[in-house]
Structure 1
Amino acid sequence: MEVKDITKDGVKGGVWVYTSNGEKFWGKKCVVTVGAWTTKLVKMVSGIDLPIQPLETMVCYWKIKEGHEDKYAIGGDFPTFSSHGEPRIFGTPSMEFPGLIKVAVHGGYPCDPDKRPWGPGMALGSLKQWVEERLSSLVDSGEPVVTQLCMYSMTPDKNFVIDFLGREFGKDVVVGGGFSGHGFKMSPVVGRILADLVLIGEAKGVELKHFRIGRFEENPKGNFKDFLHH
């Protein structure tokens, strides 16, 4: 269901969540994890303008040449990798589709999550050239055999947003967003942090200053200097 509003209950406390089909739900706390819709929902609910830009991106899977499937399979010695050239390219061992390896461009085109272009996707020339030069002996570099369109939610400093929404909501609403194309692998620890924030009001032993909403008020680029330094 599409969430249309989140309000604080001034009488009994807690939070009301209203959805597009007319239903409403009450809870003591609320966690907002809505991906590419984070900016829209947070702005509507609180007026806070988060600089989280949705990008439409395309994931590509390439066919491993016959007889070489084991070399690229999960559990073997093939790594998850990132090539920091232009464009930036990443890949993972064969897992989702047996016999196929994921190699794709880390990036995409700005989009409105409610009015996505749904393709035609990204130009593959530089990606095909990269696969041809580095993997062609073991991978068919002609064309990817499977492509999937999805969305990133990018912050200016590529750091996540993990924080209390604040203002009238205090610590009753927690936001987790802006995962910038690399949040999935950290989802277990992010889930634990979000749970701790709503259950006990803090994430003990975790330094969350880099993920504060307020960092963008201090600097529109967020942790940009720290990001470059590290």
Structure 2
Amino acid sequence: MLCELDCIIKPTNVVLMFQMFAFKNGACLKDNTTLVSINKDGDQGLKVAASNGENFWGKKYVAVVGDWMRNLVKTVCGIELPIQPLEANVCYWRIKDGHEVEYAIGNDFPMFTSYGHSYIFGTPSLEYPGLIKVAVHGGYQWNVDLSKPDMIQFCVYLMTPNEDFMIDFLRGEFGKDVVIGGGFSGHGIKMSPAIGILD
């Protein structure tokens, strides 16, 4: 299927943009930090403890913890969310010598999608010059027996059964002070700019 309205974004740039927006509005950003607990702390509001011994206090907390969302919600409030990390391989295939310009972003090579048993998509050369990206959406296995890709990257998708995203208040003792978000890993980054309200 060819869709002329498709576009390609660089997820790293999108994440950085949202992080900078949050930081400029007073957020404390902690990457690669394992959460141990979230507790009410009297007049201090919320206390968030990290495995490295750091503690953070605030009135509101947004937990966007990717693949750890299911464990976090179960640990903090005992609810089992129907969300599951899936393993997927992203393959990059070498473009034949002399054709690199034709397959580069902005030229005639389109993004493509196959909605068959396996949902396969591909993009022009962008991340790695001289290579086009071909991947299976959602963690399905795809075996190619005629040739092999030049590079394969491991990718983790966090998926709900219906592939919708989850954004909600943690509730319970936290009321509306803790927001959780998940199901954006993998395909969701493309939709994240249109989700939620930024004040």
Shorter chain as denominator, the TM-score bin is 0.7 to 0.9
CA distance in 2, matches of 1:194, 1:152: 24
8 Å Cα contact 1:159-1:180 kept in structure 2: no
8 Å Cα contact 1:63-1:99 kept in structure 2: yes
Among 130, 148, 153, the alignment partner of 2:153 is 148
CA distance in 1, matches of 2:171, 2:198: 17
Among 84, 90, 103, the alignment partner of 1:72 is 103
Distance 1:50 1:194, change over 3 A: farther
Task: Please name the residue that 2:117 is paired with.
Answer: 86
Q: Identity over aligned residues, as a percent? A: 60
Q: SS at the partner of 2:113?
A: strand
After superposing the two structures, state which structure 1 stretch, 169-178 or 70-79, moved more. 70-79
Give the Å deviation of 1:195: 4.7
Q: What is the RMSD computed on CA atoms of the aligned residues?
A: 1.9
Amino acid corresponding to residue 149 of structure 1 in structure 2: F
Q: Could you say which structure has the higher helix fraction?
A: 1
CA distances 1:72-122 after superposition (whole Å, capped 9, x unpaired) = 21122333322111222111121110110000112327xxxxxxxxxxxx5
CA distances 1:120-147 after superposition (whole Å, capped 9, x unpaired) = xx5522xx67xxxxxxxxxxxx211110
Among 122, 138, 143, the alignment partner of 1:124 is 143
Distance 1:189 1:46, change over 3 A: same
CA distance in 2, matches of 1:42, 1:195: 24
8 Å Cα contact 2:156-2:185 kept in structure 1: no
CA distance in 2, matches of 1:194, 1:173: 16
Amino acid corresponding to residue 85 of structure 2 in structure 1: P
State the TM-score, normalizing by the size of structure 1. Answer: 0.67
Segments of structure 2 that go 5 or more residues without pairing to the other structure are 1-32
**1:108 aligned onto 2:139:** yes
Q: How many residue pairs align between the two structures?
A: 167
CA distance in 2, matches of 1:23, 1:179: 27
Task: Please name the residue that 1:189 is paired with.
Answer: 194
Amino acid corresponding to residue 168 of structure 2 in structure 1: D
Distance 1:25 1:195, change over 3 A: farther
8 Å Cα contact 2:95-2:130 kept in structure 1: yes
Task: Please name the residue that 2:74 is paired with.
Answer: 43
State the TM-score, normalizing by the size of structure 2. Answer: 0.76
**1:31 aligned onto 2:62:** yes
Give the Å deviation of 1:187: 2.9
CA distance in 1, matches of 2:180, 2:172: 13
CA distance in 1, matches of 2:44, 2:168: 20
CA distance in 2, matches of 1:22, 1:33: 20
Amino acid corresponding to residue 187 of structure 2 in structure 1: H
Distance 1:79 1:28, change over 3 A: farther
Q: Could you say which structure has the higher strand fraction?
A: 2
